[in-house]
Structure 1
Amino acid sequence: MTSDAPVFGKGCHLHLIDGSAFIFRAYHALPPLTRKSDGLPVGAVAGFCNMLWKYVTDEHGSDAPTHAAVIFDHSAKTFRNEIYDLYKANRPELPEDLRPQFPLTRHATRAFNIACIEIEGYEADDIIATLACQARKAGGSATIISSDKDLMQLVGDGVDMLDPIKARLIGPDEVREKFGVGPDRVVDVQALAGDSVDNVPGAPGIGIKTAAQLIEEYGDLETLLARADEIKQPKRRQTLIDHAEQIRVSKRLVQLDCDTPLDFTLESLEVRDPEPEALLGFLAEMEFRTLTARVAERLGAEAPAVEAAPPSHAPAAPDLPGIDAAGYERVSDMAALTAWITAIREAGHVAIDTETTGLDEMQAGIVGISLSVRPGAACYVPVGHVAGSGDLFGSSALVEGQLPLDEVLAALKPVLEDPAILKIGQNLKYDWKILARHGIRMAPLADTMLMSYALNAGTHNHGMDELAERYLGHKCIPIKELIGSGKAQIGFAQVAIDKAVPYAAEDAEVTLRLWQHFAPMLPAEKVTTVYETLERPLVPVLAEMEMAGIRVDGDTLKRMSNAFAQKMAQLEDEIHGLAGEKFNVGSPKQLGEILFDKMGLAGGKTGKTGAYSTSADVLEDLAVEHDLAARVLDWRQVSKLKSTYTDALQGHVNPDTGRVHTSYSIAGAQTGRLASTDPNLQNIPVRSEDGRRIREAFVAAPGYRLVSLDYSQIELRILAHVADIPALKQAFRDGIDIHAMTASQMFGVPVEGMDPMIRRQAKAINFGVIYGISGFGLSRNLRIPRAEAQAFIDTYFERFPEIRAYMDATVAGAKEDGAVRTLFGRRINTPGINQSGPAAGGARRAAINAPIQGAAADIIRRAMIRMPAAIAHLPARMLLQVHDELVFEVEEGAVEDLIAAARRVMEAAAEPAVRLSVPLVVDAGSGANWAEAH
């Protein structure tokens, strides 16, 4: 501070930049970057400097600062750890390449000639709070440049916030939108709700929404705790009484300290222009060529020389050594393989990929294995390459210079099963199954596909080639360059080894680099728990299920196919009779001509071709008017059952096991629901009698039974919890028929003796509302006029206003954040939520449904992950997952024990992460086949 610095007072405006937030944002927004001269990690520093330069050069208008400072956390331990020793105990360790960059960001701040502040024992938030309060007290104003919710308690007269990413001002209205209360009560709400990220305990089972309601009703936290015995809800009342002291401690943890001791004054924070020599010198030292040139031009100074690029053999790309196939090794003898195994043990991790003869993990043979332990080094171990187009499994056709497969696997088995060595893969379930068939069960695992999925579900695909281009700036060798396409395509076993080495080794190295890129992003984006508890542990569980498969009775399938063929013929006769002529029922063109030209039904030509639309939606509408459309829908359903299931399933029976082995996609649906393929066993219709019959073909092995356990109305239960609907929650607690209760609430009719049609209407609305159903959609489902359907929906929302409030709040949050989250922290991106036009409605419905469907998916994932240990003592195994249902195969004498053990796991699957305010209920059944069990 200079002696003539003006006093901070009225008209002065202080900008307080959350430096720690800037660092983490910079670190995760850019790919890894190292200083070329010495390999020092500087990616976060580069991003930080770019953010500061943007701040310095922005035109702030009327909000231009007279004073400014960048505030940093000094260390992990603060006075709050003395209050509660587990405060922030869950925080993961800093990424190794970020740690050395922290002091450099302080140097950068000073180079920009901005005040740089950190105080031992205090968090950056406390320093920001103290300075903001001082500015307001002095008659000036302050803007906090951060989106951190913990700072929102400071917003008020003379203090606002600016989200630097969205360029959005945060005032009292925005705080109320976030917390449900004004800034002066944010601390009370946070004390009740707690914070899992900072390990603030709060009140168990009370979230932000409930906390806000309580504080709004009772005025403040102390009044609430003093009058807790007045609360009508028994569980909530007891929670507040039992945990009152814990809640008070939580308030002390979240309350920012506005009296942090400072050894400087506001006046010393006066805005100063950067000193060209100091700033340019620092940027040149960091070797930021582009930014150095841009700053020099803006400041009218000469850009200093930046260290010349190193020789071509040194790292050329900004993200570690360049990916260069020239350094890849072909491993053709045991000495070389032993050296790689030694390197794996020293590194403590290995990226692994298998090349095989096909995509069916249950039958494919191993052609080679690629390994990588560090960027720039990878190898390929060929074991099954053959000459020409000979017998792929005949040893006489093997190309010379390859190690025997059994010797390679015997050498690798100890490290691949070593619990101290991390196995890294892309879509690792495939490689896990390939190796498991040879007696190797890899653990522990890291899957880059699932890391990307946890971070970016809904924004892009998670295949390795796309991830490499997007995050590493690297284009992988296309497989077609090796195997060709069309009739001339060959198998990987026929690829020349010298061509296979760069392709296969590249896969391993790219996977390793993706792991290095994604691993530190997980905690920063708050999805570590999602990845570690919902994604990664599921890999071996699903792999074991897929390998177990399920027995299918081929004779039953053949009989069903014949029966379906006869039924299709009967329906065709009916359709031809209604049409008055014969035509190809499977031809959309001929069907359109019958419906619209001959019969004159409402409809029209669509699309550029001018063809009639005979889609299911169109036929559903027409079915109300004419039986022909209804019969065509029936015909199509039977045709699909025959072609997709009873015919196709016969071709999916594995000749070695006699069972069908489906494959589950973990990273398919962005809500976390699993997808079943080759064959798809999740879309077998269960509402029609014909669809249910298909399950009769799935049978237990001799001496065993199939057991099905199915969550009862899980999504409605989750809706009742998240929307906090007292009537629905009480009904679920009391075990009341929820659809009958809803009908009674809506239509004022008693539950006893209720007309089944009224209950059916309520059931359609109960389930439809979860998916944002419209009056149009409900009218189609119930085959009633649209106005009547809309009236049902309107009545529904009148009876349950909490659902409308939940929907509106969810959509508003999605529009602000571009995503929604499940109860378990899964982030589900909503990229189209802010669009206009027809797409907006679909995006809105998806945003409403995603937290509910996603939470249901998370719960059954948690159950599946815990299940193997829970049933390990029983002669049973888990075979299938179909949405909310799990199917097991168990010895006949252990059925009841299996049901009891599995039910315990499933009904407690949400805990301890989430304590639902409604019980989860699981229905169970058993039988000789799946239809009987379900």
Structure 2
Amino acid sequence: MADKNHLYLVDGSAYIFRAYHRLPPLTNPEGTPVGAVYGYTTMLWKLADDLDKADGPTHMAVVLDKSSHSFRNDIYSEYKANRPDPPEDLQPQFPLIRDATRAFSLPCIEEPDVEADDMIATYARAAQREGWDVTIVSSDKDLMQLVGEENGANGTGRIDMLDTMKNARIYIEEVEEKFGVPPEKVGDVLALMGDSVDNIPGVYGVGPKTATKLIVEHGDLTGALDAAEDMKKSKLKERLIEQRENAELSRVLVTLKEDCDLPQPLSDFKLDGVPPEPLAEFLEKHGFSSLLRRLDSGSGSPDRPTNLNPAKQSTKGADPETDGNRQPLPDWPDVDRSAYECVQTLDRLEEWVTRALAARLVAVDTETSSLDAMEADLVGFSLALVANDACYVPLGHYTGSGGSDDMFAERPKQIAREAAFAAIKPLLESDAVIKVGQNIKYDINVLLRCAGIAMAPVHDTMIVSFDMDAGRAESGIGGGHGMDELAERHLGHTCMKFKDVCGTGKKAIPFGEVPLDKATQYAAEDADVTWRLYQHLYRRLPLEGAAQIYHTVDRPLIPVVARMEREGIKVDRAALSRLSEQFAETTARIEKDIHAEAGEEFTIGSPKQLGEVLFDKMGYKGGRKGKSGQYSTDQAVLEKLSASGATIADKVLEYRQLSKLKSTYTDALQEAINPDTGRVHTSYSLVGAQTGRLSSTDPNLQNIPIRTEIGREIRKAFVPEDGNVLLAADYSQIELRLAAHMADVPELKEAFASGEDIHSRTAKEMYGEVDRDTRAAAKTINFAILYGISRWGLAGRLGIEPDEAQEKIDTYFQRFPGIQNYIHETLESVRAKGYSETLFGRKTWFPRINSKNQQERQGSERAAINAPIQGTSADIIKRAMARMMPALADAGLPDVRMLLQVHDELVFELPKGDVEAASSVIEKVMAEAAQPAVTLDVPLGVEIGTGESWDAAH
């Protein structure tokens, strides 16, 4: 036992929400939600174990919020008003989490009318006055006000913090690094900044840097506010004077209450071990059988051994057959980078291959010289068979800055590339072995191009995660789908960062120059973590209803998209160059016109300078400033100015469009031409859009304007090889067709079945007559309604008043009541469940759908209305893509190549003589893509065109 008392105060509320967002929805034997309870239990167990191995706290308590109300709400009724209510399935778990805390025989502190932070502050100061050391287990910035040392009755008491997410201690130096001021001044900085999460007003427009500067210069909040009168005229001066009351109120709100009544004395927090009986009873009651086995055997937390029970024996992980979705975390050891092997001989590689063939599943990752799979050289690859059983096989490592081709570069011992490829090829191409990767299409393309290895069959952990958690990143729930994020969230592990291995900036080195010991740790960890993620996430698929979408839509698409990326598409460099020159000349002319109209030269690309010219100098109305203090000059603002007769706004819009097209396409596409293939190879992401649509990057080929003459000119530069043509196959109005089916709208279904023009039919229903203007308006309304547009949004698109736009919306719903019913039922369902579903079962989560913040809520509602339709459309074209190449091969058309997917369109390159036969196959595959999983009440129309360019084929 340490001579000095050391109290650990755990911010239990933060643990609760971390636990809730970390795990899938779980239930106990009684059907009560316990996902957060399970996560909280494992996190608390791990903390207790880690601390026992570290400095051994003498005293410990968990502090929770009693309720959402505190004395701060009495001071300021809007305090925390923006925070949404806890999720419906989390609320019944709060009392169980209190039970979990007490099952560890730890005090559980919660008091009415004060927050957990106040109780932590009170206990921390009380212990400090006794000369104790205190560690607050939290990363909450408000609690950083407490950090430091003070003399107490029995010596100096030190307060620090422990951020368990980063496994980092926070002391005075760390606080000063974050805020630029010592802990005792943090409250002053927070008062100026405000806090949108807690709805603390602060001073509008004052951010962290400005707040710190003011406090450093003037000593404290009062000094900064008093000094405002003597400042030079500026927005900052005005705001400090006008919002002084807000700042002073905020200082009260951020100040921690350090004199709360103590419900239990500090002596009650003394740690005397964790009796196993109450913990065992709790675990058994809620069906946490694998944790119970760990307790019985003494192996403790899911991540490592523990001293909670003196018995030290190994145990097996959870049994998925018996534990079901209640046991999501297998009993794995911590990631141990020292256990990884660097394979430098052919004999050792062959042993790994033999073991992998027997295992029937292996995680694979490649290390390369570039992120571009079509240009990268293979530096090495890694394999993993079970936790910590991983290796790295270096192939292209060297020392020296002359590059891998430098004849003087020294090369560590490595297997000859061709010998390594020959050894690994039978494994990676074996139908009997599953290959698991994270974004594995990249590895597929690298291995095929560099080693001639056609890796299959495969699973992808990134896509598994996406198919269960798409959309949760919107509010930090679920997060993204990168390996580092998934490892943090699901495994509680922080991966080595590439920059820590290769450096950054001018000191960065290629991966091939990284010493083999360090390279092995980094590369093998990638495979090890990928293996763990697969084992953890894959079994969640059926439990969360995501197995169908993964196995029938997304997983089959992996090799298809990989092949499309390898195919690329030819572009006419000369045509692009001419366009770039034309755009440069035109933008130069427009720039002169803008400067002439403004009466001065300025940087048009600077929003700050443009805003000052438009609203301060030229005096246009409607200027609005954001938190940064500068005018907004976004497209909506410029379009309003244009509508009011400001010709300079028209010129700026044209200038921006041409500048963007030049930099994004005509210049960038020339740079993107692969020197070996002479083609442009875009990269598709299967997780880039939460509704399931593919996204395109490096370069992005999905945002080229379709209906403008400039966009057509760019598309003309996409051409086939000699003797070939391009074929574009486009679903015709697929989202409207799906809306007719999903909303069960007889009028629209009838129109599609008879081949009637749907916009003309809508115009007739809405306006009673069909002409060019009414059809155009009907087309706008048709699509706008499906995107949940507001009266103001529709008014802007149609150029009418909001009241008239509302009349159009009302009329539309009267003519097509099925659409209104669909919108109502969809929103009710999403509000209740938290997610929408496509006809194929793809879930898109909307965690802000019940937000008290109107803007957040309405944004989620608009997206939720369209997500089932857009997502179903994405699922259908993906199914068509997966079936396309086998269908063309069966039809004896092996020379037809699928090159691009752009929203509802597929682009092919094929010999001219194959056009007729290929068109028939392509149309049939696309028209029948939904079957047999879904039978639609409307036909899927497919429009096909061919030509000597992408534009001509459209």
Tell me the TM-score normalised to structure 1 length: 0.68
CA shift for structure 1 position 25: 7.4
CA distance in 2, matches of 1:908, 1:597: 59
Corresponding residue number in structure 2 for 1:914: 934
Change (3 A) 1:381 1:541: same
- Report the AA paired with residue 523 of structure 2: A
Structure 1 residue 776: deviation in Å? 1.7
Q: Does 1:555 align with 2:574?
A: yes
* Aligned 1:566-645 pairs, distance under 5 A: 566-576=585-595, 578-579=597-598, 582-626=601-645, 627-645=647-665
SS of alignment partner, residue 397 of structure 2: coil
Structure 1 residues 871 and 658: CA distance shift in structure 2, 3 A: same
- Describe how 1:792-803 pairs up with structure 2 within 5 A: 792-803=808-819
* Cα distance change on mapping 1:735 and 1:588 into 2, 3 Å: same
Q: Are 1:308 and 2:320 an aligned pair?
A: no
d(CA) in 2 for partners of 1:717 and 1:643?
36
The alpha-carbon deviation at position 570 of structure 1 amounts to 3.7
Report how far residue 597 of structure 1 moved: 2.6
Residue type of the alignment partner of 1:453: F
**CA shift in 2, pair 1:910/1:28, >3 Å:** farther
8 Å contact 2:759–2:775 — kept in the other structure? Answer: yes
- Contact 1:32–1:320 under 8 Å retained in 2: no
Indicate conservation of the 8 Å contact 1:454/1:530, yes or no.
yes
User: Which amino acid in the other structure matches residue 308 of structure 1?
Assistant: A
In structure 1, distance between residues paired with 2:338 and 2:97: 43
| Map of 2:744 onto structure 1 | 724
Q: Distance in 1 between matches of 2:296 and 2:447?
A: 51
The 1:52/1:419 distance shift into structure 2, 3 A limit, reads: farther
Give the counterpart of 1:386 among 384, 395, 398: 398
The 5 A counterparts of 1:425-436 are: 425-436=437-448
Structure 2 residue matching 1:508: 3-state secondary structure: helix
1:475-524 Cα shifts (integer Å, max 9, x gaps): 11122221111111111011000111111111111111111111211111
Q: Find the partner of 1:760 among 769, 776, 780.
A: 776
Quickly say closer, same or farther: Cα 1:394–1:528, change in 2 above 3 A.
farther
Kept in 1, the 8 Å contact 2:732–2:942? The answer is: yes
RMSD of the TM alignment (CA)?
A: 3.3
Which of 442, 460, 481 is the aligned partner of 1:462? 481
User: How do 1:760-799 and structure 2 match up within 5 A?
Assistant: 760-799=776-815
Hey, what does 1:185 align to over in structure 2?
none
Partner of 1:324 in structure 2?
Answer: 336
Asked if 1:930 corresponds to 2:930, the answer is no
User: Contact 1:620–1:780 at 8 Å: present in 2 too?
Assistant: no
Amino acid at match of 1:771: Y
> Aligned AA for 1:847?
A
Alpha-carbon shift at residue 769 of structure 1 (Å)? 1.1
Say whether the 8 Å CA contact 1:622–1:629 is kept in structure 2. Answer: yes
Answer whether contact 2:461 2:530 (CA < 8 A) is retained: yes
User: What amino acid does structure 2 have at the position aligned with 1:737?
Assistant: D
Partner of 1:473: 492
Asked whether the 8 Å contact 2:848–2:856 carries over to 1, the reply is: yes
Q: Is 1:423 the equivalent of 2:435? A: yes
- Which residue among 306, 322, 334 is the counterpart of 2:346? 334
Count matched residues.
Answer: 674
User: Contact 2:330–2:536 at 8 Å: present in 1 too?
Assistant: no
2:865 is the counterpart of 1:848: yes
Give the 3-state SS of the residue equivalent to 2:619 in structure 1.
coil
Partner SS, residue 522 of structure 1: helix
Following superposition, the deviation at residue 782 of structure 1 comes to 2.7
Which of 821, 846, 853 is the aligned partner of 2:837? Answer: 821
- Out of 754, 763, 775, the position equivalent to 1:743 is 763
8 Å CA contact 2:400–2:410 kept in 1: the answer is no
Provide the rounded CA distance (Å) in 1 between the counterparts of 2:745 and 2:341: 62
Task: Provide the C-alpha distance between the structure 2 equivalents of 1:291 and 1:533, rounded to a whole number of angstroms.
Answer: 41
SS at match of 1:812: helix
Measure how far apart 1:870 and its partner are: 1.1
Residue-by-residue CA offset, 1:693-722 (whole Å, 9 max, x unaligned) = 100000000010000000000111111111
Instruction: Tell me, yes or no, if the aligned pair for 2:283 and 2:291 is still in contact at 8 Å.
Output: no
Q: Matches of residues 279-298 of structure 1 in structure 2 within 5 Å?
A: 279=281, 288=292
Q: What amino acid sits opposite 1:896 in the alignment?
A: E
Letter in 2 for 1:321: P
Distance between the aligned counterparts of 1:517 and 1:674, measured in 2? 25
Q: 1:376 to 1:430 in 2, by over 3 A?
A: same
Deviation at 1:352, TM superposition (A): 0.6
One-letter amino acid of the structure 1 residue matched with residue 587 of structure 2: M
Does 1:650 find its partner at 2:670?
yes
Residue 562 (structure 1) shift: 1.4
Aligned counterpart, 1:445:
458
Residue 914 (structure 2) aligns with: 894
Equivalent residue number for residue 695 of structure 1:
715
1:405/1:575 CA distance change after superposition, 3 Å: same
1:224-239 mapped onto 2 (5 Å cutoff): none
Offset at 1:921?
Answer: 0.4
Tell me if 1:812 matches 2:832.
no
Change (3 A) 1:417 1:383: same
Specify whether residues 406 and 394 from structure 1 end up closer, same or farther in structure 2 by C-alpha distance, changes over 3 A only: farther
TM-score when normalising by structure 2? 0.67
**C-alpha spacing 1:901/1:349, structure 2 compared with 1 (3 Å):** same
Q: For 1:815, give the aligned amino acid.
A: R
In structure 2, C-alpha distance between the alignment counterparts of 1:305 and 1:644, rounded to whole Å:
59
Distance change (3 Å), C-alpha of 1:280 and 1:702: closer
Partner of residue 6, structure 1: none
Q: Does 1:490 align with 2:509?
A: yes
Residues 896 and 911, structure 2, Cα contact 8 Å, conserved in 1: yes
Percent identical among aligned pairs is 50
Quick one: structure 1 residues 877 and 621, their matched pair in 2 at CA, closer, same or farther if it must change by over 3 Å?
A: same
2:881 maps to which of 845, 855, 864:
864
- Going from structure 1 to structure 2, the CA distance change for 1:629 and 1:280 (only over 3 Å counts) comes to closer
Mapping of 1:77-96 within 5 angstroms?
A: none
Q: 1:590, CA displacement in angstroms?
A: 3.4
Paired residue secondary structure (1:606):
coil
1:780 and 1:277 map into 2 onto residues whose CA distance is 62
- Structure 1 CA distance for aligned equivalents of residues 356 and 314 of structure 2: 29
Following the alignment from structure 1 to structure 2, what is the Cα–Cα distance between the partners of residues 584 and 830? Answer: 40
- Cα distance change on mapping 1:477 and 1:55 into 2, 3 Å: closer
Question: How far, CA to CA, are the matches of 1:918 and 1:314 in structure 2?
Answer: 50
Distance change in 2, residues 1:28/1:698 (3 Å): farther
Deviation at 1:781, TM superposition (A): 2.1
Report the CA distance shift for 1:530/1:430 in structure 2 as closer, same or farther (over 3 A).
same
The one-letter amino acid paired with 1:855 is T
- Check conservation: 1:541, 1:865, Cα contact below 8 A: yes
Q: CA deviation at 1:451?
A: 0.6
278-287 or 645-654, which deviates more = 278-287
Q: Tell me, in whole angstroms, the C-alpha distance in 1 between the residues paired with 2:734 and 2:801.
A: 30
Q: How far is 1:313 from its partner?
A: 15
Tell me, in whole angstroms, the C-alpha distance in 1 between the residues paired with 2:860 and 2:568.
36
